[in-house]
Amino acid sequence: MLALRADIDALPIPDAKTGVPYRSTVPDRAHACGHDVHTTTVLGAGLVLAELHRQGLLPAPVRLLFQPAEEVLPGGAADAIVAGALDGVGRIIAVHCDPRVDAGRIGLRHGAITSACDRLEVALDGPGGHTARPHLTTDLVTAAARVAADVPALLARRVDARAGLALTWGRIEAGHACNVIPMHAELAGTVRCLDLAAWRDAPDLVHAAIDEVATLHGAKSEINYVRGVPPVVNDPVVTELLHDAMAARRGPYAIEDTEQSLGGEDFSWYLEHVPGAMARLGVRTPGSNARLDLHRGDFDADEAAIKVGVELFTAAALLDGNRS
């Protein structure tokens, strides 16, 4: 049985879109990663497939999988699997919105299409003190700054550059007053990696680099390294299924090659159990120069992409059923 997967969760950011009826009605929550589009395409495909089943034209059963918590590492896919989401499933497919690709087109790639992604939280502690006498204490602000700058640089020299390991900070906090050296500082970010082998080594490498830099500056470090998700590695047979489905509906010129991104996706956990593939669904209005990236409050999708996603899922389900 083929499964069509959609992630359904939003992000904790305000919706900055204006003048559209699908703007978020919940304060400080927005579908800034296109999960509303993913959900709608699977729902739409489900309606079409249900009608075909009613007419006796559906060649094989299809499962619609609506998964929460994709944005929360290590992702809701693991819980869905434990709950039986893959019971009886032989293959699984999904799409992800891509604002770099025009609506009406999809991007496909054999092999890895996303990267591994982990979450990192670092706490630094020191005795604190007066900013007039930093030589008598641990300058925790400087220590945090050095960890932020030096640890990524160290990793770049301790990991093969072809592995594509990248540590990027999203939050740094330290102190409350201009004349007080704080006793505590925090940093948080993500570790992303193109290569699966390097991903397995990443926790030890990151721990060692942080401890080394923090110790050099007299700070004590506490590290919370949260394992996230491995790369999504598209199965070649299922990727060809998506290719053939799109070509049948929109023609071969509606398909473009795409590159492996540093984004993380818990769709990868399903692929630890069954073969599958993810396509990039173009959502940019053709001719538009707007750069509305994912995870921005003003991210928007051309609604024409929804029909394309419905057609892709429906055609893939019919092709898969006829080939099985």
Residue 38 assigned to a binding site: no
Per-residue pLDDT reduced to its tens digit, 209-249: 999 999 999 999 999 999 999 999 999 999 999 999 999 99
User: Structure pTM?
Assistant: 0.92
Could you tell me the two tokens for 206? Answer: 């990151």
Residue 184 assigned to a binding site: no
Residue 71 assigned to a binding site: yes
Give the pLDDT score at 171: 98
Give the pLDDT score at 290: 81
Q: How confident is the model at residue 324 (pLDDT cuts 50, 70, 90)?
A: confident
Residue written as token pair 């579908």: 31
Per the prediction, the chain carries an average pLDDT of 97
Q: Which of 294, 264, 285 is nearest to 105 (CA)?
A: 285
Omega of the bond leading into 275 within 30 degrees of 0 (cis): no
- Length of the chain, in residues: 324
In CATH, the architecture of 2-114+231-323 is: 3-Layer(aba) Sandwich (3.40)
CB burial of residue 171 (10 Å; 0-12, 13-18, 19+):
exposed
Tell me the domain boundaries of the chain. Answer: 2-114+231-323, 116-229
In CATH, the architecture of 116-229 is: 2-Layer Sandwich (3.30)
Residue 96 assigned to a binding site: yes
Per-residue pLDDT reduced to its tens digit, 121-132: 999 999 999 999
Could you tell me the two tokens for 173? Answer: 């906090």
